[in-house]
Amino acid sequence: MSPRPATESVTAQGNYAGSVSRFLAYAIDLFASTAVYTLALAAISYVVQIVTGEQVSWNRQNILVVVLYLAWEFFYFGYSWAVSGRTFGMAMLGVRVVRADGAAAEPRRGVVRALVFPLSFLLFGLGFLGILVQRERRALHDLIAGTAVVYSWDARAARLRFLAREGELTRIPPDG
Amino acid sequence: MSAHRRITDPVEAMAQRVAERVVDLVLNVVDLNALIQRIDLNALMAQVDVNALLARVDVSALLEQVDVNAVIARVDTDALLDKVDINAVLTKIDMDVLVEQTDLGAVIARSSGGVASEALDAARSGAVGLDQTIDRWVQRALRRKEPAPVAPRAPLNGEAAPAAPPPNAPPARPSEAPTEAATPPEPSEAPASEATTAPEPSEAPASEATT
């Protein structure tokens, strides 16, 4: 099956990013950040074992592991939003955090967004309902931080690439 | 020469001279301009079968006699191009067809046809399709009639982010976003595929769409 042409996506640029794009971006971020954290812990264990000769094991019951993980997650998301308005996962899905009025989000908004982000979870996930029902698809943490998430990928170029590939596949070579 | 020819030839020559003389005399007497003005040219032309006339013209032979290079050399192309609104012409070009059916598409495909970019394009397009499907469901469930507000245009990859407006400037509202960005999707152009299939609710629970 050929991939879906980006016709709709061309015009989706300039719209608020929807729930699926945002969820997928978050899933990628969660996987990536957790993988990096796990690798970091493994590296620390390896170094400690070499230096002291003692084996260090990390588990989820260890409060230090949990606190460090939360701090790392806050850094991962907060730093990404503050510096570029998007995380690795958001870059993959082509969405970006901007200020509610469309200007680039200031670093402090990125930090605030990362700080209040857990609130949307703590309210039984109701904080995320805004992505579905709110007119500008803003979750609770978006409303508090004064941000919005929009599509930012060059869908027009993607469509031209798609058409070029389709044309390349269907075109009969001159000598054939 | 036969006896018959000896008689007819002088007679024919005389008749020819008489006819020429008569014609001269008539033309001197007749006011041709006045005569032409009395002719209904439209009625005359209506009786002419132009197609039949043109069918008898050997256009190829005609064109062979024309020195096209000499004609072109006399054309002031700069002046001609000055009169052409290139931008207006470009807006009429169907880029989709151009890319799909010409070598330009092959150039694009070869220069940017990596597997990664193809997969990324497909993933993004699929996600946007699902976003729109879910959004349509929600709008229908909430019985909303008016279209969703237009989002501010975010900078594309590699583009500089728009500067924040000065503090005393009126805030830019989503409605001020570029018109092109507000164009609604054209579902008729998008062939149906799995990506547009309505997802199961478990695929994208609202509480998990978290970025």
Cα–Cα distance for residue pair B153/A78, rounded to 1 Å: 22
Q: What percent of chain B has pLDDT over 90?
A: 6
Q: Which of B93, B128, B134, B153 to mutate to test the interface with A (most CBs of A within 10 A)?
A: B128
Nearest of B192, B118, B195 to residue A165 by alpha carbon = B118
The per-residue pLDDT for B3 is: 76
Question: Higher pLDDT residue, B147 or A110?
Answer: A110
Write out the two tokens for A113. Answer: 């967004």
For A:123-142, CB contacts with B below 8 A are 124-126, 128-129, 131-133, 135-136, 139
Confirm or reject contact between B189 and chain A (CB < 8 A): yes
pTM passes above 0.90: no
pLDDT in tens, B15-61: 999 999 998 888 888 888 888 888 888 888 888 888 888 888 888 88
The per-residue pLDDT for A2 is: 44
Q: How confident is the model at residue A148 (pLDDT cuts 50, 70, 90)?
A: very high
Q: What's the mean pLDDT when you consider all of chain A?
A: 84
Confirm or reject contact between A122 and chain B (CB < 8 A): no
Nearest of A75, A69, A87 to residue A21 by alpha carbon = A87
Q: Rounded to the nearest 10 degrees, what angle do helices A63-83 and A19-52 cross at?
A: 130
For residue B195, pLDDT over 70 is answered with no
Average pLDDT estimate for A121-141: 88
Nearest chain B Cα to A87, which residue?
Answer: B211
Cα–Cα distance for residue pair A98/A110, rounded to 1 Å: 9
Q: What percent of chain B has pLDDT over 70?
A: 64
Instruction: Give the CA-trace dihedral at B160, B164, B165, B166, to 10 degrees.
Output: -130
For residue B200, pLDDT over 50 is answered with no
Chain A residues touching residue B194 (CB < 8 angstroms): 1, 4
Q: How confident is the model at residue B70 (pLDDT cuts 50, 70, 90)?
A: confident
Nearest of A135, A21, A159 to residue B151 by alpha carbon = A135
Nearest chain A Cα to B186, which residue?
Answer: A8
Q: How far is B148 from chain A (nearest CA, A)?
A: 6
Contact residues for B178 (Cβ-Cβ < 8 A; gap 6+): A14, B153
Cα–Cα distance for residue pair A24/A40, rounded to 1 Å: 24
pLDDT in tens, B126-182: 898 899 899 889 888 888 877 777 776 666 555 555 555 444 444 333 333 333 333
Geometric angle at alpha carbon B9, from B6 and B12, rounded to 5°: 150
pLDDT in tens, A53-96: 887 777 777 888 899 999 999 999 999 999 988 999 999 998 99
pLDDT in tens, A3-57: 444 444 455 566 888 899 999 999 999 999 999 999 998 898 899 888 888 877 7
CB-based contact A148:A16 (threshold 8 Å) = yes
For residue A116, pLDDT over 90 is answered with yes
Average pLDDT estimate for A107-130: 90
The per-residue pLDDT for B31 is: 84
- In this structure, what are the phi and psi dihedrals at residue A164, rounded to the nearest 5 degrees? -65, -45
CB-based contact A150:A16 (threshold 8 Å) = yes
Confirm or reject contact between B94 and chain A (CB < 8 A): no
Q: How confident is the model at residue A108 (pLDDT cuts 50, 70, 90)?
A: very high
B177/A102 touch (CB, cutoff 8 Å), yes or no: yes
- In this structure, what are the phi and psi dihedrals at residue A137, rounded to the nearest 5 degrees? 55, 45
Residue A146, classified by CB atoms within 10 Å of its CB into exposed (0-12), middle (13-18) or buried (19+), is: middle
